[in-house]
Amino acid sequence: MRGWLQGVMLSTSLFGGSWIGAVSYWRATNRMPSALDLLVWLALLPLALLLAVWAGRRVMNARARDDTNAAPAPGQAVASVPAAAPAVPALAILAAAIRTPHGATPDELAQAIGAGRARADLDPALVDQDGFPVFSARVDSADGDAMAAELEGWRAQAGLDDPRFTPEQWRALALGTQVCTELLAQASAGARQVAQGALRGLRIHAVLGTDWDAAQRAQASAWMAALAIRDGWPAATVSASSPPMAAPGMLARLASQADQDGEPVFAIVLAFGSQVGEASVERLAARGALFGAATPQGLIPGEAAAGLLVAAPDGAAPTLQLAVAVEGADEGGAARNAGAARLRRLADALVPGADGMDAVTALFADTGHRSARQLELMKFAADALPQLDAGQDVKAVGGACGQCGDGAFLAALALARQHALDGAGAALCIANEDPPQHTAALVRPAAALS
């Protein structure tokens, strides 16, 4: 958005300046311009100037990327990895899993975002107060009815009360179950074995939105523990919870625990949420917060699930460092500048010095479609990471997931992990879709620890 506005302003200035200058000259000299004069001065000259500016910018950006992303020599570590680890507690990301409207794997989602296909669409099953279809980001594999049938059988055997999940919560739980099952398979494949061969305890933390009450949170976390036990984990080694905190705060807490001696960390952190349902659409519309022609800054109902399997750093997996700030903010221009500056301070706390910031090769964010959040993201990227190409190296996940809670941020971290695994260097992740909270996270390849 920011780049498009700059392009329009530049084009308008060049054409306007050329036209005003030519007309002023002709009037001052009392000259009647010919057809050739009109073509040269009113069309060809501003186009030539615009082409020169565009070519100059392309050359400068190419040089900046070449300096930053120079290929490593054989046997040498990736040059884009910061040499020194920041003094922030870290976690190793052993595995990641996602379910989003535009991809069930990080590769699929990254390709959809890069191709411009990761966006919301009209949903014929959901209509606004006037009966018109609304935009939504729907996941086809979210089968709430099948999830309800499966959970009802387990709940009856466990003797648990009915938590009265809403249709949206059933859809979210179906996606969360898929993600948790995939991560449990990754854990069971070998990550749960410590050097001595004993099973280490597995903790599952389900990060849910404020629309889940205490009973619903308890049953959702109990279901995740039941999935682990079904997967072969002894019940005594599994614990599950759904604390009333955001995903960045939970990851920061685990990183702090991993940094302390005698505090082993082996955990799944997952978030799942959905607002794809009639009740959610009605609530958003009632408070004037539903995206539409009259409310372009409204919210788009969406759904997603994402999770990470994390442990104490061991040098064999990409590492994650987090810096979290929670401050008040609004949608105004001053708040946008303040938000970009806050993100810069958080990033500076993660990345060691200017050389370290230059080594970041990608930026992932949970930013959605709202212009205030997009402009904040672009201002931060332009100020802190000028070496990145805004069209190729900056990927906003929020627009692909819609409004769905912390799933978009964890999906961004999953993309950053894949970026590091692909040998592309370090990636910075930010969360700014929820204005009061800003988060920065640095994901570095495992080679950076050696």
> In this predicted structure, what is the pLDDT of residue 82?
43
**Domain at 83-450: CATH architecture:** 3-Layer(aba) Sandwich (3.40)
Contact 405, 208 (CB under 8 A): yes
Sign of the alpha-carbon torsion through 71, 73, 76, 79: negative
How do residues 283-326 score in pLDDT, each as one tens digit? 999 999 999 988 999 999 999 999 999 998 887 889 998 887 76
CA distance 375 to 400: 17
Work out the percent of the chain whose per-residue pLDDT is above 70: 78
- pLDDT(357) > 60: yes
Which has the higher per-residue pLDDT, 29 or 81? Answer: 29
Q: What is the pLDDT of residue 206?
A: 97
81 or 102: which leads in pLDDT: 102
Residues 6+ apart with CB under 8 A from 363: 381, 385, 388, 393, 394, 395, 427, 428, 429, 430
Q: Where are the domains of the chain?
A: 2-68, 83-450
Kindly state the average pLDDT of the residues 180-198.
68
pTM (global) more than 0.85: no
As a whole number of angstroms, the distance between CA 93 and CA 444 comes to: 10
Under a CB-based contact definition with an 8 Å cutoff, are residues 247 and 271 in contact?
yes
Residue 261: pLDDT band (50, 70, 90) is: low
Q: What is the pLDDT of residue 11?
A: 67
| pLDDT-wise least confident of 44-53, 145-154, 233-242, 391-400 | 44-53
| Of 227 and 330, more confident | 227
pLDDT on residue 78: 37
- pLDDT at residue 57 above 60? yes
Alpha carbons 287 and 284: distance in angstroms, whole number? 6
d(CA 54, CA 280): 45
For the chain, state the CA radius of gyration: 25
| 342 vs 2: CA distance, rounded Å | 19
The CA distances from residue 62 to 70, 187, 188, 389, 420, in Å, are: 11, 41, 44, 9, 22
Mean pLDDT of the chain: 83
pLDDT tens for each residue of 129-148: 888 999 999 999 999 999 99
SS3 of 67-124: the string is HHCCCCCCCCCCCCCCCCCCCCCEEEEEEEEEEECCECCHHHHHHHHHCCCCCCEEEE
| Integer Cα distance of 193 and 42 in angstroms | 73
Question: Mutual orientation of helices 407-421 and 106-114 as an angle, nearest 10°?
Answer: 100
Average pLDDT over residues 327-354: 71
C-alpha 112: how far from chain center: 14
